Amino acid sequence: MLADVATGLALVLAAVSVTIDIFLRQPLRNILQTYRSRADHGELDTEKDEIDAVRKALERASGTVDALGEAVQIANDKSSELEAALQYSEERYVLAMRISDDGAWEWNLQTGQFILSPRWKCMLGYTEDDFPDSLQAWREHVHPLDLAAVDATLNCRLESHVTQFEQQFRLLHQDGRYRWVSSLGTIIRHANGKALRIVALDTDITRVKQIESVLHHIVEGTSGTGGEAFFRAMVRNFAAALEVPCAFVTECIGWPPKRVQTLAYWRRGDFVDNIEFELAGTPCEAIFDEGRPVFYSSRVRELFPREKDYESYYGIPIFGSRGHIIGHMAFFNDEVMRQEDVLTDAVYQIFTARAAAEIERKAALDRLTRFDAAEIASPMRESEKTPATPPVTNM
């Protein structure tokens, strides 16, 4: 855009210069030449002729100056329009970069200059002044286990004359955690093929990677299981994937549900005995009252004194085939939980749907067991009520 503005202004100035030469300098040269010629031949006999000639020349020059003034004004207006367009374009670019999840970086291979955009630094929790624009600083924030792969990808693309590259790796955030990014870049080359610059956009894909990790853990951990084994595998693997110390799954007791009982309960690295508890006074109560997931990022121990061991909570309802809540899954954490740590509801719904099927299957088996027990007990009770047949005696 800057090149276009410079080119436009150069053309305007060239046009003004040509206009001045045609309409001002050349006419004055002609007048002077005519005056000298006439003077040489004695045609200008009086001083009045000289004054009239100069007056007419000045009048023509004045008209030419007016025309040039209009041309200059037009050129200034055009220049202002170009500057305004440039400023608007730059503002839109800055705005787009600010609202984008992508962080740009550029590496000048000729000078060694390495530039990181403000958005890139913000993505890792830094201000523009907190993070130096240097290749060394960038490399120091790449995960040690990923650095060799990143170097190999860049070197391979530079040597093979490929113009684009894509790589996923981890970058150290200011909070001490690593963020996954997907880096999509372009190698700008000279006409002779020599690499001049690398320009890339890094996109934070931590959430995607976390979802992949959870799905991998849960699917692998619950595959081929059912009943109690499924519930135990689900809470154990969810706790590991989300890095929380407490996870459990429940089923309702009665309707409307005021109490629940756990079907699997994982607490601080091991299973504990299942319990039955009142919903009132717990963060779980809102799940059944509102029929939706409930998230407390912090202050759980303050809001719910019964849960004094924990700081944060996330709970998800389990809906049965008739659309009623038949249980829930819950997670407690000792530390503050961020929204991005919770994942998306769709991920949990995959497993709560399976949990619902298992709960309903368990309930059906319980009913069948009770029915069979009642059927077995009924003939026994009838036999106890029927009087014994008296023995036959011979008269």
**3-class SS at 149?**
helix
> Residue 147 falls within a domain, yes or no?
yes
Residue 142 has pLDDT above 80, yes or no: yes
Residue 2 has pLDDT above 60, yes or no: no
Question: 336 lies in which domain range?
Answer: 210-375
For residues 316 and 287, the answer to whether their CB atoms sit within 8 Å is yes
- The Cα angle at residue 58 between residues 55 and 62, in degrees rounded to 5: 140
> Residue 394 falls within a domain, yes or no?
no
Mean pLDDT of 123-134: 94
Q: Which residue has the higher pLDDT, 211 or 334?
A: 334
Q: Are 244 and 352 within one domain?
A: yes
Q: Are 73 and 220 within one domain?
A: no
> Residue 383 falls within a domain, yes or no?
no
| Main-chain phi, psi angles of 368, to 5 degrees | -65, -40
Report the chain's mean pLDDT, rounded to a whole number: 81
Q: Are 188 and 275 within one domain?
A: no
* Euclidean distance between CA atoms 8 and 26, whole angstroms: 26
Residue whose pair of structure tokens reads 């629940």 in the numeric block: 260
Q: Are 228 and 338 within one domain?
A: yes
User: Which band of pLDDT confidence, cut at 50, 70 and 90, is reported for residue 249?
Assistant: very high
Instruction: Give me the number of domains the chain comprises.
Output: 3
Whole-number CA gyration radius for the chain? 42
Nearest Cα neighbor of 96 from 125, 119, 123 is 119
Please, which residues bridge with residue 179 across strands? Answer: 171
Give the end of a domain, one of 98, 125, 153. 98
> Residue 364 falls within a domain, yes or no?
yes
Residue 90 has pLDDT above 90, yes or no: no
Write the CATH number for 150. Answer: 3.30.450.20
> Residue 250 falls within a domain, yes or no?
yes
Mean pLDDT of 228-252: 92
> Residue 145 falls within a domain, yes or no?
yes
> Residue 24 falls within a domain, yes or no?
yes
- The Cα angle at residue 391 between residues 385 and 392, in degrees rounded to 5: 135
Long-range CB pairs of 303-312, under 8 A, 24+ apart, other chains included: 305/281, 306/281, 306/282, 307/282, 307/283, 307/332, 309/334, 310/246, 310/334, 311/335, 311/336, 312/336, 312/337
Segment 49-81, tens digit of pLDDT: 656 666 666 667 666 666 666 766 777 777 677
Name the maximum alpha-carbon separation found in the chain: 189
Q: Are 261 and 299 within one domain?
A: yes
Q: Are 214 and 362 within one domain?
A: yes
Q: Where are the alpha helices (DSSP H) in the chain?
A: 2-20, 26-40, 47-99, 118-123, 135-140, 144-160, 206-222, 227-242, 285-290, 300-303, 345-385
Residue 395 has pLDDT above 50, yes or no: no
Q: Are 216 and 195 within one domain?
A: no
Residue 11 has pLDDT above 50, yes or no: yes
Nearest Cα neighbor of 173 from 217, 206, 208 is 206
Looking at residue 203, its pLDDT comes to: 94
Q: Are 219 and 336 within one domain?
A: yes
Q: Are 47 and 109 within one domain?
A: no
**3-class SS at 256?**
coil
**3-class SS at 169?**
strand
Q: Are 330 and 232 within one domain?
A: yes
> Residue 166 falls within a domain, yes or no?
yes
Looking at residue 45, its pLDDT comes to: 53
